[in-house]
Amino acid sequence: MAKYEKVGIIFNGGCSSLKSIKLSPDLEYISGHAFEGCTSLTSITIPEGATYIYNSAFAGCVSLKSITIPKTVTKIENNAIGKTADSANIEGFIIYGYKGTAAEQYAKENGIKFIALKYTPGDADTSGEVTVDDVLPIRQNIAGWDVKIDETNADVDGDGELSVSDALFVQQIIRLEDNAVRRLYGCRSFYNVGGVKNERCQ
Ligand SMILES: [Ca+2]
Ligand SMILES: [Ca+2]
């Protein structure tokens, strides 16, 4: 697994043997044609915080069958995702993203299947609930493992990167019934971190 440290991606194609890549959490955009022709690429995680995906960024990545777009992405250019080298749709391609974002708009305009993600802080494995099963994949991800998680959900403290702090927050969400945790993080934080409505805060 390659690790990319710089902001922005400048592969500019020529990566036919690349299967997966860990992108820097500081990544701001994926440049035009960055992964064009990476025909072996099977999975990639766009980091939370990335804003633009430029034209033909993933064109011809025919082994890639789905991609998850964080809600920070506000612009996706022509042929960026889910397209063959000839600008046709890759059969069965799915874009996972959040409703009302550039991801949904791009999918709609290009006739690509879109599955809406629900923002649930802590639900890293997108099972629909926050449990101990969400802690391990976050820790594995921090350790550099290629584990598929929803980075928007996993970045519980909202600082744009995954760290031990997020894993700890998830453990605290699980224990939210404990009043001591509520006091520790204060009413407002409790509401934000847990995503749970606390009547006493209103
Ligand atoms: Ca879960
Ligand atoms: Ca974080």
The pLDDT tens digits of the residues spanning 25-40 come to: 788 899 999 999 999 9
SS3 82: coil
Ligand of minimum distance to the alpha carbon of 130: 1
Look-up of token digits 């519980």: 156
Q: Which residues surround ligand 1, an ion (CB under 5 A)?
A: 123, 125, 127, 134
Residue 68 CB neighbour total at 10 angstroms: 22
| Within a domain: 66 | yes
Q: How far apart are the C-alpha atoms of 182 and 194, rounded to whole Å?
A: 10
183 shares its domain with 141: yes
Beta strand 66-68 pairing with 43-44? unpaired
| Ligand 2 centroid distance, CA of 48 (Å) | 10
Q: 89 with 145, same domain? A: no
CATH number of the domain that residue 83 is part of: 3.80.10.10
- Domain co-membership, 100 together with 39: yes
Condensed to tens digits (0 to 9), the pLDDT of residues 165-180 reads 999 999 888 876 455 4
**Distance from the alpha carbon of residue 162 to the mean position of ligand 2, in angstroms:** 4
Q: Final residue of a domain: which of 117, 148, 173?
A: 117
The CA 147 to ligand 1 mean position distance, Å, reads 14
Residues 121-149 pLDDT 10s: 899 998 888 888 899 999 999 998 888 89
Q: Is residue 125 part of a domain?
A: no
Pair 21, 50 in one domain: yes
* CA–centroid distance, residue 72 to ligand 2 (Å): 14
What pTM was computed for the model?
Answer: 0.67
Largest pairwise CA distance in the chain: 58
Q: Are residues 30 and 69 in the same domain?
A: yes
Instruction: Look up the domain containing 157 and give its range.
Output: 132-201
13, 37 contact by CB (below 8 A) = yes
Number of structural domains the chain divides into: 2
